[in-house]
Structure 1
Amino acid sequence: MMFGAMAIEPLISTLHDERPDARDAARRALVTIGSDAVAPLIAALDTDNPIAQLAIVETLRSFGDKAIPALLVGLEAPQPIVQQRSLELLSMLDDPQVRVVLLRYLNDPDLKLAQLAMAGLVQQGTDVVPNLVRALKQPDVQLRERAAEVLAHLNWQPNPDHAGAVYALTRNDWATCVQLGTVAVPPLLEALSHWDSEVRRAAALTLVQIGAPALAGLMDTLQSDTAHARASAAWALGKLHAHPAASALAHLLNDPDQHVQEAAIGALIRITTPPDIFVAALASPNLLVRKTAAWALGHHRYTPALPALIEALYDPAADMRDTAARALGEIGDPHAIQPLLKLIDDPDEVVRATIVEVTRYLHRQSEKAAASA
């Protein structure tokens, strides 16, 4: 026995030999020595020699379940290659303890280890499905995505429940999310905060397709701490013509994030909104919000907005001055003629042309009104 233990290191060195017969003889001898050889073999995985690595892996595989305790220690080794090979070897063993370890590494920050865990779980087969389904219900998005990928490789058929909705969403199966309806709303709302803009866009569109069951959740999401979620929810509410959301959307015109402001004003012009909301929006620091508000006031022909639109003719942005002038033309009130004429020498050529066009139009309208009086 003493001779066997003393022979371990020389035998491991022989696994680096270029001669296949020498490596094979060393491997058989190490297996004969038994479990005392496992820990030194795992430590020896830290080598750049691919021939030796393969020989060590094959030797460790021969130990079967007896290697599990030492492989678990190998997972804690400082060398990444030892961690990776230990996890890879564990995944080849059919043991409940191994499945627990693989599930733990499914969400490891080391992408290589996570990928090895995913591949190992696929090798474990359907025994891991219940644990993976539970992972779909966890708050960590990355964990859910990786669990769903493993389930897909296992050809899992989901039920029409929350886990099934998360699975469909993670697989970008938006049509199934629509079919699931109400049960898919919570994970879809959460996806409005996703880092990927394509996922956010698809989730918002899917919520629009689901319709009424999504309204309450979308309105709650307007209060989200995540700007992406607030903007996506505002867009969806606009597409749904959600009149009850008008007040909350108006509040977002003062949101610290300009994309949220723009999504909110875009939604407000889609729904029946009190025009005075747009009057207040003319004072926004966001140019797009100001322009959209001016356009909306002209579209609504909201005469009480006349003073605010006249003031907007002095906006520092030429685009805004142009939009305000056009809005005054849409409203059609001749009281705007004199304020417009004061700005006939606007420094911007486009604005000057618009002022000329609008004042001529208002003159004609005024003359028609006088003639029919």
Structure 2
Amino acid sequence: MVAVASIHDRLRNPDAGVRRIAVIDLPYTDEEDDIAPLLVEALSDADASVRLEAAKALEGFEEHEVLTALVPLLKDSDAAVRDAVAYTLAELKEPSSAGPILPYLSDADAEVQAAALQAVRALRVDAAFEPAMQALQHTDARVRRAAVGVLGYLKKPQALGALTEVAAHDPDAEVRRIAVGAISYAGDTADVSVLPALGRAIADPVWQVREEAATTYAKTNSLLGVPNLVRAMDDEYWQVRVKAARSLGKLKARDGVMVLIEALIHPVSNLRKEAVIALGEIGDSRAIAPLERAMQDPDPDVRKLSKLALTSMQMPKQGA
């Protein structure tokens, strides 16, 4: 343990580097009651690196004084400090903490608005819904990304139309990717509101968006997207193929058996593993012989997974 008296002296040292290390040491002091007040005091330090460490160290402190001190730093002049404050506020996980943050959701400064949206995302407060919907139209991609995150956490059906539009047409690839992931909560409405957007996303020019779309298909629980997943098994990026294989397995899509069998000889072992797992989940007898051959695969994980897949396929079904 570090003596709190020594921390006091170092926090007032003219050298910012000394003060920064003192802040890092604070959580390990022998006086727990003094930690939060001293960290709050460090939030007003003239040096951004000290404020940054104080903001990070306050994660997990739920005192009202901490919240009150952190929120104004959403407008800090240093981007790293703003991000750390947003993260620490989000980690409070208490919806009641959102009140002081809400006014910042429509701040004129795009960086402040983005940080505030990030802060309330995990708090899941209804009051953030309308500001987030409006922020989808912001000219700054950082704000739109944060807004999509808020709406994805809130999981409101009213947002699906806007999110699918963003997923298909936003000029920023990362915004499109996040939006594709955010619409995975569509549930029973997936067939009409989400699948058309996923159909566009699985053909997006940016492979990370296609990869997200391939993942999201499984969460819709709809077989209507299987043809697109089958085509995605021929994507030029193996990362997209991996997610497509995984979704075909989760959907138990028999129409994907043949492309999954073809993937068993792909040079990337991660794809061969996913294909084996998916074939085991689907349980189609056409895969038995290819899986038996896969038990000679040079990758031990592929051999192990092939054995498990064959075993699961040979087990009697419940209720049979």
With structure 2 as the length reference, what TM-score do the two structures score?
Answer: 0.54
> Could you tell me how far 1:298 is from its partner in structure 2?
1.8
Q: Using a 3 Å threshold, how does the CA distance of structure 1 residues 233 and 189 change in structure 2: closer, same or farther?
A: farther
Q: What is the CA deviation profile of residues 269-299 of structure 1, one whole-angstrom value per residue up to 9, with x for unaligned ones? A: 2223323332222112232321222122222
Q: Residue 217 in 1 paired to residue 162 in 2?
A: yes
Question: What CA deviation, in whole Å up to 9, does each residue of 1:289-345 have, x standing for no partner?
Answer: 212221222222222222121111111211111111121111122221112223332
**Are 2:205 and 1:260 aligned?**
no
Higher-Rg member (1/2)? 1
Greater length-normalized contact order (CA 8 Å, ≥ 6 residues apart): 2
1:203 aligns with 2:147: yes
Structure 1 residues 343 and 192: alpha-carbon distance in aligned structure 2, compared to 1, 3 A threshold: farther
* CA 266–300 in structure 1, closer or farther in 2 if over 3 Å, else same: closer
The equivalent position to 1:336 in structure 2, one of 287, 312, 318, is: 287
**Residues 198-239 of structure 1: CA deviation (Å, up to 9, x unaligned):** x56532222232723432222221212221221122122124
Q: 1:180 to 1:200 in 2, by over 3 A?
A: closer
Structure 1 residues 341 and 183: CA distance shift in structure 2, 3 A: closer
Q: Aligned residue for 1:236?
A: 182
- Count residues with an aligned counterpart: 206
1:284 pairs with 2:235:
yes
Per-residue deviation, 1:192? 7.3
* Aligned-residue offset at 1:180: 5.8
Q: Distance in 2 between matches of 1:256 and 1:299?
A: 25
When residues 239 and 202 of structure 1 are mapped into structure 2, their CA distance, relative to the original with a 3 A threshold, is farther
1:247 aligns with 2:191: no
2-structure distance, mates of 1:297, 1:164: 39
- In the TM superposition, what are the counterparts of 1:88-127 in structure 2 within 5 Å? none
Q: Structure 1 residues 171 and 316, CA, compared in 2 at 3 Å: closer, same or farther?
A: closer
8 A contact 1:312–1:321 mirrored in 2? yes
The answer to whether the aligner puts 1:185 opposite 2:133 as a matched pair is: yes
Distance 1:171 1:257, change over 3 A: closer
- 1:79 — aligned with what? none
**Contact 1:234/1:249 (<8 A) preserved:** yes
**Which amino acid in 2 is paired with 1:258?**
W
In the alignment, the residues of structure 1 paired with residue 166 and residue 150 of structure 2 have an alpha-carbon distance, to the nearest angstrom, of: 15
Aligned equivalents of 1:164, 1:337: Cα separation in 2 = 55
Q: Distance in 2 between matches of 1:170 and 1:357?
A: 46
Question: SS of the counterpart of 1:342?
Answer: helix
CA contact (8 A) 1:166 1:184 kept: no
Question: Quick check: 1:250–1:265 contact (8 Å CA) kept in 2?
Answer: no
RMSD: 3.5
* Paired position in structure 2 for 1:271: 220
* Whole-angstrom distance in 2 between the partners of 1:289 and 1:333: 23
Amino acid at match of 1:261: R
Q: Distance in 1 between the 2:228 and 2:302 partners? A: 25
AA in 1 matched with 2:270: D
Where 2:220 maps in the other structure, the secondary structure is coil
Are the counterparts in 1 of residues 252 and 282 from structure 2 also a CA contact under 8 Å?
A: yes
Aligned-partner Cα distance in 2 for 1:255–1:340: 32
Q: Which moved more, 1:165-174 or 1:342-351?
A: 165-174
Pair 190,236 (structure 1): closer, same or farther in 2 beyond 3 Å? farther
Note the residue ranges of structure 2 that are not aligned, 5 or more in a row. 1-101
Q: Which residue of 2 aligns with 1:172?
A: 116
Cα distance, 1:165 vs structure 2: 3.1
CA distance change for structure 1 residues 236 and 166 in 2, over 3 Å: closer, same or farther? farther
Structure 1 gap ranges (5+): 1-159
Q: Quote the Cα distance in structure 2 between the aligned partners of 1:257 and 1:285.
A: 11
In the TM superposition, what are the counterparts of 1:16-165 in structure 2 within 5 Å?
A: 165=106
After TM superposition, the score normalised by the length of structure 1 is 0.47
How far off its partner does 1:346 sit? Answer: 1.7
| Superposed CA offset, 1:144-201 (max 9, x none) | xxxxxxxxxxxxxxxx99x98345836616659941643641324537722xxxx565
